Amino acid sequence: MFLLQLVQPMRFERSDKSRLSQFLVQRSLTNIELASFLRWYVAVELHDPAYAKRFYCTYEMLEENMIKLGMGAFDGGDGFKLWQSLVRQTELTAQPCSITRDVRNVPGGTQKKIEKLWHLLSGLLSELTYFEEVIHSRRH
């Protein structure tokens, strides 16, 4: 897959809503796996202040178009739910980093750290142990 190599040149396009970004968004609307990767690559580029506005336009275009798909998108899924699922990926990947940092900062030995970990996983972060839906990709 050459998606990353197509996302990076968007930095040098003449407009924020370039033909390349439109092409990538349209292609990603036919394949949830492609949509997921595109969302991740664009989200990473949002952290670069020089290009954030440009990539935000693409991110927004992807979001709007996925939500418009409605029911029947990506082999029967709901476009809005699928977008929410992609956004949740970011939230879920941030939480283990937070847990690691919290457990590392607990004073004391291993047992104290284990107790803190269990406390975190059984409390506010218990959602890490439950996933409402799985995004299925088509494999040919």
Q: What are the pLDDT digits (tens) for 108-127?
A: 899 999 988 888 888 766 66
Q: What is the spatial distance between Cα 90 and Cα 80, in angstroms, rounded to a whole number?
A: 16
Residue 43's pLDDT is: 94
Where along the chain do its domains lie? Answer: 1-69
DSSP letters, 37-94, are HHHHHHHHHTT-TTTHHHHHHHHHHHHHHHHHH-EEHHHHEEHHHHHHHHHHHHHHHH
Superfamily of domain 1-69: Phosphatidylinositol 3-kinase, accessory domain (PIK) (1.25.40.70)
20 closest CA partner among 58, 50, 46? 58
What is the pLDDT, as a whole number, of residue 8?
A: 92
Which residues, listed in sequence order, are joined to residue 11 by a DSSP beta bridge? none
Which among 8, 74, 9, 76 is positioned nearest to 36, based on CA atoms?
74
The dihedral sign for the CA sequence 10, 15, 16, 20 = negative
Q: Residue 104: which H helix or E strand, with range?
A: helix 79-104
Q: Are 26 and 32 in contact (CB under 8 A)?
A: no
Give residue-wise pLDDT tens across range 12-48. 999 999 999 999 999 999 888 999 999 999 999 999 9
Supply the pLDDT for residue 140.
46
Asked if the model's pLDDT at residue 134 lies above 60, the reply is: no
At residue 77, φ and ψ (nearest 5 deg) are -80, 170
Residue 106: the pLDDT is 92
What is the tens place of the pLDDT at every residue in 42-93? 999 999 999 999 999 999 999 999 998 876 666 666 888 888 888 888 888 8
